[in-house]
Amino acid sequence: MVELLMAAFVMGIGLLGLTSLQAMAIRTTGTSARMQDAIRLGEQVLELASAEGTQAYLGERSQSKSTAAPKYLGAGAVTEFYKYRPVDDTQGAKGTLMPATAADQVFTVTLNQVEMAGAGFGQLVQVTVQVQFIEGVTSGGANVLRTVSFTREVIHA
């Protein structure tokens, strides 16, 4: 009888450990999904800034100036907010990222630029994109600020 009680006790401890492991796996999966979204969002903004610089530079070289005002380059620091799309609509599927206000944002994207040097027709700038989001309550009971940063040198007119 004592052996059965000991076996039940050991099995109970093992099941508690498995329950804790499952909870940690669920939290880690959520963190990794948000980190993946932050990386994708940062790369997207960096690519848009790079494309904007390339278009401006090529337009300057061919003397056909663009009438579109630059969104990212030459504007100093740029901050944008994004959240998850709550429902399917004409702009995208539920769960995809969409622009947001500061009040309901999930991700904060900040683009900074530092002028490096003139390069003939263009200006070389170092563009840094930083994406931040707050990880929900962790096992320690505190929120954690997660940050992803990207840097690239971009030439623009």
Q: What is the pLDDT of residues 27-73, one digit of tens each?
A: 778 788 889 999 999 999 899 888 888 887 777 655 655 556 677 77
Helix (H, G, I), strand (E, B) or coil at 3: helix
Average of pLDDT values for 107-112? 91
More confident residue, 131 or 116: 131
More confident residue, 95 or 129: 129
The yes-or-no verdict on residue 157 having pLDDT over 80 is no
CA distance 33 to 35: 5
Distance of CA 83 to the CA centre of its chain: 11
Q: At 98, list the tokens.
A: 């969409």
CA distance 3 to 11: 12
- Give the whole-number percent of the chain exceeding pLDDT 70: 85
Average of pLDDT values for 99-127? 81
pLDDT recorded at residue 61: 56
- Give the whole-number percent of the chain exceeding pLDDT 90: 22
Residue among 28, 38, 116, 141 nearest 83 (CA): 38
Other beta carbons within 10 Å of 12: 10
Q: What is the pTM of this model?
A: 0.72
DSSP annotation of 84 reads E
CA distance 16 to 54: 57
pLDDT recorded at residue 129: 92
